[in-house]
Amino acid sequence: MDECNILNTLKKNNIVLENRFVRPIIISGPCSAESREQMINTAMELSQMGIGVFRAGIWKPRSRPGSYTGSGSIGLKWLKEVKQKTGMLTAVEVAKPSHVYEAISNDVDILWIGARTTVNPFVIQELAETLKGSEVHVLIKNPINPDLELWIGAVERFLKAGIRNIGVIHRGFSLYKRKKYRNEPLWQIPLDFKSRFPEIPIFCDPSHICGNPNLMLEIAQKSLDLNFDGLMIESHINPPKALSDAKQQITPAELENLLLKLKLRNQDTQFSNSLSTLRKMIDKKDKELMKILNERMKIVEEIGKLKKENNILILQNDRWEKILSNMMTLGRNKGMNNEFVESVFKLIHQESIYVQSLLMNEEECSKIEIN
Ligand code: PEP
Ligand code: MN
């Protein structure tokens, strides 16, 4: 795959903001296209700040009927005008082949696939076939549910159709009960994606992860620290009056403020010497940890044999609770995170029970989860 093709194309169009923002690439614009005035005014401000890519939802897949579904095709004319007036690249969400035809014939540069579309392999296949051999850039949002394989499957369908200019967007995952975030970031999923497809650029969408502006800086910073390639952030000329996602949109001025607060860390290693010394120390500790875990497991097996000979229950709850509370006290005294210590020991205990169950039953048995 042509390495970072999308990045190179976007970079050329990404004007430098106070000499800092060649990378990450910033994509911004309203959740939905509402009016010509809203689109042009938002884009003019973003462009003056140096944002190179303008987004707008023309056709919005809404969870519930009756919500604003975007301007429809007329928004493509407004987008074209944005492009002519500002020179920005334009991006829209597509969910059906007719969206793809219309967007491409209106010179849209980037098509993104929304989270509610990525979940459906039939629709993705149809979109990929519609785009076969096209040079257009496609950004694929993660599916709403935390399913890495489904996300990867969507990417593979586009790759198989010969679409080379692919990127992905991490927009968080929907859970039944909303907690701190509108969509849980579950960072391990985009990180696993990155290690499976290191050459595919990955963007973060703090707007849909957070659902409000307060947490966005924290999420944007974290994504940059994890070496994401860019950000997609919703902006609106007058957020309280927005017809969709009003709570999470920010003004272009607020966006500029946020971008200026972001810290860009060096990718190359000025500190490579001390870094490699520290990494060697970590490798040594990891080996010691493995040795100790292995020794501990051997003792667990000995205990298992004894329990079997004496026909004693595997789970001795008092003993387990004592171990856990002792370790948590020890951890606390050493300034370690309680949840971390708890999870580590729960995992160890779970594995110990599994090993003893195998021994006592002398047959395959599934792992018992202790919560
Ligand atoms: C959007 O980008 O406006 C949108 C609808 O996002 P998502 O598909 O991530 O919900
Ligand atoms: Mn939105």
Name the closest ligand to CA 242.
2
The pLDDT tens digits of the residues spanning 3-38 come to: 444 445 445 555 444 333 456 889 999 999 999 999
Report pLDDT for 4.
44
- Residue whose CA lies nearest to ligand 1 atom number 6: 114
Report pLDDT for 12.
54
Please state, in angstroms and rounded to a whole number, the distance separating the CA atoms of residues 30 and 235: 5
Name the closest ligand to CA 55.
1
- Residues that place a CB less than 5 A from ion ligand 2: 31, 245
Report pLDDT for 316.
81
Q: What's the mean pLDDT in 247-267? A: 90
Report pLDDT for 74.
97
CB 167 within 8 A of CB 1: no
Verify whether ligand 1 is closer than 6 Å to residue 236 (CB atom).
no
In order of 182, 213, 242, the CA distances from 210 in angstroms are 5, 7, 17
Verify whether ligand 1 is closer than 6 Å to residue 157 (CB atom).
no
- 114 Cα nearest atom in ligand 1: 8
Report pLDDT for 145.
97
Structure tokens that stand for 297 in this block:
């497991």
Alpha-helical regions (H) of 88-147? 97-105, 115-118, 121-131
What percent of the chain is predicted at pLDDT more than 90? 74
Q: How does residue 337 score in pLDDT terms, banded at 50, 70 and 90?
A: very high
Q: Is the pLDDT of residue 110 over 80?
A: yes
Please state, in angstroms and rounded to a whole number, the distance separating the CA atoms of residues 371 and 9: 49
Mean pLDDT of the chain: 90
Report pLDDT for 57.
98
Q: What's the mean pLDDT in 266-275? A: 70
- Residue whose CA lies nearest to ligand 1 atom number 8: 114
Min mean pLDDT across 124-138, 299-313, 321-335 is at 299-313
- 112 Cα nearest atom in ligand 1: 2
Q: What's the mean pLDDT in 46-56? A: 91
Name the closest ligand to CA 211.
2
Instruction: Kindly give the distance from the C-alpha atom of residue 291 to the centroid of ligand 1, in angstroms, as a whole number.
Output: 47
**Which are the contacts of 198, defined by CB distance < 8 A and separation ≥ 6?**
none
Verify whether ligand 1 is closer than 6 Å to residue 211 (CB atom).
no
The model's pTM is: 0.78
Name the closest ligand to CA 141.
1
Verify whether ligand 1 is closer than 6 Å to residue 25 (CB atom).
no
Report pLDDT for 360.
84
DSSP class per residue in 38-95: HHHHHHHHHHHHT--EEE-BSS---SSTTS----TTHHHHHHHHHHHHH--EEEEE--
Please state, in angstroms and rounded to a whole number, the distance separating the CA atoms of residues 358 and 365: 6
Please state, in angstroms and rounded to a whole number, the distance separating the CA atoms of residues 52 and 142: 23
Report pLDDT for 54.
96
Residue from 116, 140, 178, 233 whose mutation best tests the ligand 1 pocket (most atoms within 8 A of CB): 116
> Side-chain half-sphere of 6: how many Cα atoms within 13 Å?
30
The pLDDT tens digits of the residues spanning 145-188 come to: 999 999 999 999 999 999 989 999 999 999 888 789 999 999 99
CB 53 within 8 A of CB 88: yes
Question: What one-letter code names the amino acid at 346?
Answer: K
Q: What's the mean pLDDT in 259-266? A: 84
Report pLDDT for 234.
98
Q: Decide which of 273 and 215 is more confident.
A: 215
What is the distance in angstroms between the CA of the first residue and the CA of the last residue of the chain? 44
Q: Is the pLDDT of residue 296 over 90?
A: yes
The values of phi and psi at residue 285, to 5°, are -65, -40
Residue from 31, 94, 174, 182 whose mutation best tests the ligand 1 pocket (most atoms within 8 A of CB): 31
Instruction: Kindly give the distance from the C-alpha atom of residue 169 to the centroid of ligand 1, in angstroms, as a whole number.
Output: 10
Q: How does residue 332 score in pLDDT terms, banded at 50, 70 and 90?
A: very high
Q: How does residue 263 score in pLDDT terms, banded at 50, 70 and 90?
A: confident
